[in-house]
Amino acid sequence: TRSMEFKVIRLFVLLAATVKAQVNPEVCRYPLGMTGGQIQDEDISASSYWSESTAAKFGRLDIGGGDGAWCPDIMSEPHGLKEYLQVDLRSLHFITLVGTQGRHADGMGNEFAQKYRIKYSRDGSNWVSWQDRKGQQVIEGNRNAYDVVLKDLEPPIIARYVRFMPVTDHSMIVCMRVELYGCEWLDGLVSYRFVSFFSSDDLTDGTWGLDDFLHSQIYGVWPGYDYVGWSNRTFPKGYVEMIFDFDHVRNFTSMKVHTSNMFSRGVRVFRQVTCFFWSDSEWEPGPITFRPTPDRVSQRARFVTVTLGDRTAKTIKCRFHFSDVWMLFSEVAFQSGSAVYNTSMGPGKHPKNPLTVDDPTHKVDDSNTRILIGCLVAVIAILSAIIVIMLWRQVWQKMLEKASRRLLDDDLTARLAIQNRAFAFRHSSLSSDSGSTSNSTYERIYPLCADYQEPSRLIRKLPEFAHSAENLSKPHTSGSDGAPHYAEADIISLQESSDGSIAAANMTPFTGTDSSLREFPREKLSFKEKLGEGQFGEVHLCEAEGMQDFLDEDLSVGEISESLLLVAVKTLREDANKNARNDFLKEIRIMSRLRDPNIVRLLAVCVDTDPLWMITEYMENGDLNQFLCNLRLKEAPDEDKPDYTKLISMAAQIASGMKYLSSLNFVHRDLATRNCLVGKNYTIRIADFGMSRNLYKGDYYRIQGRAVLPIRWMSWESILLGKFTMASDVWAFGVTLWEILTLCKEQPYSQLSDEQVIENTGEFFRDKGKQVYLPKPPCCPDSVYNDLMLSCWRRNAKQRPSFQEIHAQLQENMSA
Ligand code: ADP
């Protein structure tokens, strides 16, 4: 057997039931951020690298950078077998899938790892080699330098650190780019855990060994596979000591050991077990000792239950004493009440482990019928739990649908359907925790569009854009199973919809022609200075020669001095991946169709060749947030400081731009001062139709490392129901108006953490008068605060004013 040589076995205990309750391995397959960038460069390291340009940070799947991949210096190490690329995920993750790729570097490279192994660790010091259920460690890797090869990790792993170790004969240079897929491993939401281990190398699979340990439940493995065994000859003290480390302190009710008792072959249940508990800094006095009644009759494998008397510990050390030559275990299970999260069950009333028969008298359970009954009861309990969860889910779904139908406008129904599904999934995975506590609620209230949660998944489904401007102008739809993506969807669906809603408004939906999508000769742009940095790349101030030939007559951008025009050129970073590229093209498509004095204008594009550029009108004073901040910081003389009327006029311009967008039924979704640009004389244009968030990272909230959301600007229904409508844009306008009138002195709700902001959203939903509103800015008249600002944050979306009304009200206010 595999672990006889270990005298002391230190085990990291996997919480199998928790994993099953919280993680659905079929869904838990999100890219964890090598490609997407959520994993930072400093969290990617390697045993060695060939050169600076093939350092660890270039080992990102689909990206590469540098010379195209991570390549170890295999010559530095005689067998080239210990080289690794290490990813630190910063917290425990449930990892179900890995992807690898070689070094292509646009045809310059041709190195890849045909085989590799994986090691993983939870603390960075104890490393475990991954192996499949047959004990196979080597994974088939790549066959060429460019294709991504995905490998399902069966069994999946729970780890913080993962190492990819190319297996190679050292004459060959190998290079790798990798991605990990899975999800964050959330802990502490269920009240008790069923813990099992399988062998000293940290494998949990929930399979019990059969009575005859020489047979296995898994086909095609060696005899004894299901068991871990020890012989008393290698343990002179007469006992095997195991240490179980848990992720945090818990109250332990009991431990169950599944053990063989094949005494005809010298295997018996342990004679005695003594468990010690470590909570803070020492082993507590008073270990628990338990002696199972010896069974000399039945050779059946069985669970032995050891009551742990609700002892608190983070680490448990148990000494199992031999009663024969061999001890063979197939599982050790712990039942615990969480010391951190208290659920509806009172102390000491921990539910019985549904999978086994509990035996409070500590007797070895040897009766066939009892096991059978136990199993049946367990199956029934599990089935009823599933039914209850499903019913509960349906009720919830109905309630939510009703609530949202009653309270909100009924547009975007297609999106809602998707959200409900998303919500149902989230809800089912968390419904066991009905007594919500402040630190756990926000996890469950994210029923957002799949596309908003993880845009990259959807973008991949969109047809690949051709690079020509001609193709850019064609509308695209998402795949049949995908939701329309972000704001673009509204434009596209509108454009394609033949129903009368737009016609009734007597507006051509897209007054903008695609002339702005014409290719501008790059060589006629000369760079002047960098204006800022966006999500996609830099924004530069440029002089454009001959731009006026490109502009329609209606355009009044700046003064066209002879043939030179100042423009802003937004660039796509050269190393941008496909997703960023698609986002960039999408923003171009959206902007090309919008035309309004208060919407930033796209003038032309350079997309025929890389790098991609979009040319927009230049707004001398940058974004409104910076502009207001600077005014405040400058302590400028009075004439420079915007007076109240000027502030209101800026807000009115935003309202006017939004009025235009609402006439197209276009939902912006990210209205905020940071996304408005300021030109001469306090002219304002709304910008940012992509998902651009770099400089203002702090304004966005990251859900489990994936979606980023501007929660402080979002209406309660956008956060809780994933519903984005004109009315939620109105909510964001209220926050934007608040920013303007406070001169962007502080972030909205700056005294609240992100989690508290979401809690507050829950208060808006519950409407018990406990919700917190942004306070009245000092310069804001009572009437504006009460009649306008607060009305934008009304719970009932239908009661919020329209942009038309807001605009009229602001204009009235200016002239008053
Ligand atoms: P992000 O992607 O972070 O939203 P953008 O790429 O739109 O940002 O722009 C980054 C910064 O560049 C803005 O915050 C702004 O200061 C500046 N900028 C962008 N577009 C213009 C423009 N048309 N005129 C002047 N400055 C601009």
Res 651 pLDDT > 70: yes
d(CA 275, CA 316): 7
From the list 689, 459, 487, 695, the residue with the least C-alpha distance to 577 is 459
Ligand 1 binding pocket includes 618 (Cβ within 6 Å): yes
Query: Mean pLDDT over residues 762-777, rounded?
Result: 91
Q: Please give the number of the atom of ligand 1 that sits closest to the Cα of 533.
A: 10
Ligand 1 binding pocket includes 622 (Cβ within 6 Å): yes
d(CA 345, CA 717): 32
pLDDT at residue number 419: 35
Ligand 1 binding pocket includes 178 (Cβ within 6 Å): no
pLDDT in tens, 683-703: 999 998 765 333 345 555 554
Query: Mean pLDDT over residues 335-345, rounded?
Result: 43
Burial class (CB in 10 A: 0-12, 13-18, 19+), 637: exposed
Count other Cβ atoms within 10 Å, centred on residue 765: 18
Ligand 1 binding pocket includes 723 (Cβ within 6 Å): no
Ligand 1 binding pocket includes 557 (Cβ within 6 Å): no
- Ranked by mean pLDDT, the top range of 196-210, 583-597, 668-682, 689-703 is 668-682
Q: Do residues 712 and 729 touch, judged by C-beta distance below 8 A?
A: no
What residues contact 545, with CB distance under 8 A and at least 6 apart? 524, 525, 526, 563, 564
| Cα Dmax for the chain | 104
d(CA 601, CA 599): 6
How sure is the predictor about 82, in pLDDT bands with cuts at 50, 70 and 90?
confident
3-state secondary structure of 610: coil
pLDDT in tens, 111-133: 899 999 999 988 888 888 998 87
Ligand 1 binding pocket includes 571 (Cβ within 6 Å): no
Least confident window among 95-99, 271-275, 548-552: 548-552
Least confident window among 38-52, 176-190, 299-313, 601-615: 176-190
How sure is the predictor about 22, in pLDDT bands with cuts at 50, 70 and 90?
very low
Q: Please give the number of the atom of ligand 1 that sits closest to the Cα of 539.
A: 12
Q: Do residues 674 and 624 touch, judged by C-beta distance below 8 A?
A: yes
- Ranked by mean pLDDT, the top range of 235-244, 261-270, 567-576, 734-743 is 734-743
Tell which one of 584, 621, 677 to mutate to probe ligand 1, the residue whose CB is within 8 A of the most ligand atoms: 677
Ligand 1 binding pocket includes 558 (Cβ within 6 Å): no
Residue 328 region by backbone torsions, left for phi larger than 0, else alpha for psi between -120 and 50, else beta: beta
Q: How much distance in Å is there from the Cα of 702 to the middle of ligand 1?
A: 22
Res 94 pLDDT > 80: yes
Q: Do residues 662 and 802 touch, judged by C-beta distance below 8 A?
A: yes
> H or E stretch including 801?
none
Q: How much distance in Å is there from the Cα of 114 to the middle of ligand 1?
A: 44
3-state secondary structure of 585: helix
Average pLDDT of the chain to the nearest whole number: 73
Cα→Cα distances 353→17, 256, 329, 814, Å? 10, 10, 19, 69
| For ligand 1, atom 19: residue with the closest CA | 539
Q: How much distance in Å is there from the Cα of 803 to the middle of ligand 1?
A: 25
From the list 15, 24, 539, the residue with the least C-alpha distance to 252 is 15
3-state secondary structure of 288: strand
d(CA 102, CA 191): 44
Q: How much distance in Å is there from the Cα of 537 to the middle of ligand 1?
A: 10
How sure is the predictor about 214, in pLDDT bands with cuts at 50, 70 and 90?
low
Ligand 1 binding pocket includes 21 (Cβ within 6 Å): no
How sure is the predictor about 74, in pLDDT bands with cuts at 50, 70 and 90?
low
Kindly write down the DSSP assignment for every residue of 668-696, as one continuous string: -S--SGGGEEE-GGG-EEE---S---STT
pLDDT at residue number 75: 61
Ligand 1 binding pocket includes 734 (Cβ within 6 Å): no
Which residue reads 């790549």 in tokens? 142
Res 13 pLDDT > 70: no
pLDDT at residue number 562: 58
d(CA 803, CA 727): 9
pLDDT at residue number 212: 62
Give residue 150's Cα distance to chain centre.
20
Query: Mean pLDDT over residues 255-270, rounded?
Result: 88
Task: Give the residue with greater pLDDT, 811 vs 697.
Answer: 811
d(CA 680, CA 386): 63
The alpha carbon torsion through 320, 323, 325, 326 (nearest 10 deg) reads -50
Query: Mean pLDDT over residues 789-810, rounded?
Result: 95
pLDDT in tens, 464-479: 333 333 333 333 333 3
pLDDT at residue number 709: 79
d(CA 370, CA 24): 31
> H or E stretch including 165?
strand 149-167
Q: Please give the number of the atom of ligand 1 that sits closest to the Cα of 535.
A: 2
User: Which residue is catalytic, options 324, 433, 596, 670?
Assistant: 670
Question: Tokens for 809?
Answer: 């009200």
Which H, E and C letters describe 299-356, residue by residue? Answer: CCCEEEEEEEEEEEEEEEEEEEECCCCEEEEEEEEEEEEECCCCCCCCCCCCCCCCCC
Give residue 584's Cα distance to chain centre.
22
Q: Do residues 14 and 158 touch, judged by C-beta distance below 8 A?
A: yes
Res 567 pLDDT > 90: yes
Please state the φ and ψ torsions of residue 739, each to the nearest 5 degrees: -60, -45
Q: Please give the number of the atom of ligand 1 that sits closest to the Cα of 537.
A: 6
Least confident window among 63-77, 358-372, 544-558: 358-372
pLDDT at residue number 690: 62
Q: How much distance in Å is there from the Cα of 694 to the middle of ligand 1?
A: 10
The alpha carbon torsion through 16, 21, 22, 27 (nearest 10 deg) reads 100
d(CA 133, CA 219): 10
d(CA 255, CA 309): 10
> What percentage of the chain reaches a pLDDT higher than 90?
31
Query: Mean pLDDT over residues 587-591, rounded?
Result: 86
How sure is the predictor about 166, in pLDDT bands with cuts at 50, 70 and 90?
very high
pLDDT at residue number 193: 28
Q: Do residues 50 and 71 touch, judged by C-beta distance below 8 A?
A: yes
pLDDT at residue number 120: 92
Tell which one of 623, 688, 693, 708 to mutate to probe ligand 1, the residue whose CB is within 8 A of the most ligand atoms: 623
Please state the φ and ψ torsions of residue 530, each to the nearest 5 degrees: -85, 130
Q: How much distance in Å is there from the Cα of 508 to the middle of ligand 1?
A: 29
Cα→Cα distances 73→49, 56, 117, 666, Å? 5, 11, 17, 53
d(CA 730, CA 727): 5
d(CA 770, CA 773): 10
From the list 499, 680, 462, the residue with the least C-alpha distance to 585 is 462
pLDDT at residue number 360: 33
Query: Mean pLDDT over residues 126-145, rounded?
Result: 88
Ligand 1 binding pocket includes 623 (Cβ within 6 Å): yes
Q: Which residues pair with 519 in a beta bridge?
A: 605
From the list 638, 591, 593, 639, the residue with the least C-alpha distance to 616 is 591
d(CA 613, CA 588): 9
pLDDT at residue number 533: 84
d(CA 772, CA 735): 13
pLDDT at residue number 624: 95
Task: Give the residue with greater pLDDT, 187 vs 616.
Answer: 616
d(CA 669, CA 662): 12
Q: How much distance in Å is there from the Cα of 585 to the middle of ligand 1?
A: 16
| For ligand 1, atom 14: residue with the closest CA | 623
Residue 581 region by backbone torsions, left for phi larger than 0, else alpha for psi between -120 and 50, else beta: alpha
d(CA 515, CA 551): 8
d(CA 482, CA 730): 27
- Ranked by mean pLDDT, the top range of 119-123, 327-331, 729-733 is 729-733
Ligand 1 binding pocket includes 374 (Cβ within 6 Å): no
Q: Please give the number of the atom of ligand 1 that sits closest to the Cα of 616.
A: 23
Residue 772, amino acid: V
3-state secondary structure of 30: strand
688 is catalytic: no
Task: Give the residue with greater pLDDT, 222 vs 806.
Answer: 806
